[in-house]
């Protein structure tokens, strides 16, 4: 491929503003470059170059980033006038992530259940909660609301200064801007479907 062809490819790619979209998404999700690097296996330096447009990501790299952010690959290429409103995610396509990339003993693990859909109004996850003591889990909060449906094991949720025990088939909905934490008392841990929504307005 000659120099002119390379310039043409670069010009076409630049119209998608992939780097700007990546940066906007990362800032919206409040994830630091270093943390994104730990989740994706990419260096913070490389991610910075991707965001500034100094480097064009390969498709495998972009897919890894998209899965961490729970968005479809189309997010980086759609003109937003076409929204994907139907998507299927196969069990074998999901990737399991810890709650924090650098956690030695994660409080929970999660798999994104609708990562290939773009412009979602909610995020859905399959979450696993290992056997833990309450004092060993990390309280956290985030904008919006959260819904949890327990599918197996005993799951405890601490919120508003109270501890609530949930069994398989139980569910809970709450304002996730309030500090909350989860842990399981089951030997095999607990599993649940978790749905989060962004803050209104």
What is the layout of strands, in order, in the sheet containing 122-129?
96-98, 109-112, 122-129, 190-197, 145-152, 171-175
Same domain, 27 and 113: no
Considering the domain architecture, whether residues 95 and 189 belong to the same structural domain is answered as: yes
Same domain, 110 and 183: yes
Task: Read off the pLDDT of each residue in 79-100 and give the average, rounded to a whole number.
Answer: 76
Collapsed DSSP state (helix, strand, coil) of residue 154: coil
Q: Are 118 and 71 in contact (CB under 8 A)?
A: yes
pLDDT at 118: 65
pTM of the model: 0.66
Per-residue confidence (pLDDT) for residue 94, from 0 to 100: 86
Indicate the DSSP class of residue 121.
Answer: S
Of 76, 106, 123, the residue at which a domain comes to its end is 76
Round to whole Å and give the CA distance between 74 and 63: 10
Is the pLDDT confidence value at 139 over 60?
yes
Same domain, 155 and 72: no
Give residue 18's domain range.
3-76
Domain assignment present for residue 53? The answer is yes
109/164 same-domain check: yes
Report yes or no: 190 and 152 within 8 Å, Cβ to Cβ: yes
**Gyration radius of the chain over CA positions:** 19
Helix (H) or strand (E) holding 70: none
Beta bridge partners of 128: 109, 191
Q: For the chain, how many structural domains are there in total?
A: 2
Query: Tell me, what CATH number does 184's domain have?
Result: 2.60.120.10
137: in domain: yes
Q: Domain check: are 102 and 170 in the same one? A: yes
Is the residue at 81 inside a domain? Answer: no
170 and 100 within one domain: yes
Tell me, what CATH number does 45's domain have?
1.10.260.40
| Strand arrangement, sheet containing 180-184 | 162-166, 155-159, 180-184
d(CA 192, CA 110): 10
Which tens digit of pLDDT belongs to each residue from 35-86?
899 888 899 999 999 999 888 888 899 998 998 888 888 888 876 545 556 7
31 and 124 together in one domain: no
Question: Does 63 share its domain with 110?
Answer: no
Helix axes 44-51, 18-29, angle to 10 degrees: 120
Is residue 82 domain-resident? no
Tokens of residue 182, six digits:
């989860």
DSSP 102: T
Q: Is there a single domain that holds both residue 49 and residue 105?
A: no
Same domain, 61 and 31: yes
Q: Say if 101 falls within a structural domain.
A: yes
């Amino acid at each position: 491929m000659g120099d002119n062809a390379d310039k043409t490819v670069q010009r076409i790619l630049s119209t998608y503003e992939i780097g700007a979209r990546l940066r906007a998404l990362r800032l919206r999700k409040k994830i630091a470059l270093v943390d994104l690097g730990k989740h994706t296996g990419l260096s913070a330096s490389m991610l910075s170059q991707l965001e500034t447009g100094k480097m064009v990501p390969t498709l495998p790299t972009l897919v890894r980033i998209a899965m961490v952010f729970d968005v479809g690959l189309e997010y980086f290429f759609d003109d937003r006038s076409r929204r994907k409103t139907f998507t299927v995610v196969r069990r074998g396509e999901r990737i399991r992530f810890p709650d924090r990339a650098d956690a030695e003993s994660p409080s929970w693990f999660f798999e994104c259940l609708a990562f290939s859909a773009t412009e979602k109004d909610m995020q859905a996850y399959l979450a696993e909660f290992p056997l833990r003591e309450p004092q060993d889990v990390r309280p956290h909060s985030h904008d919006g609301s959260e819904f949890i449906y327990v599918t197996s094991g005993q799951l405890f949720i601490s919120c508003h200064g109270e501890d609530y025990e949930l069994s398989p088939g139980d569910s809970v909905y709450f304002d996730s801007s309030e500090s909350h934490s989860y842990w399981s008392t089951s030997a095999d841990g607990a599993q649940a479907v978790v749905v989060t929504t962004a803050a209104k307005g």
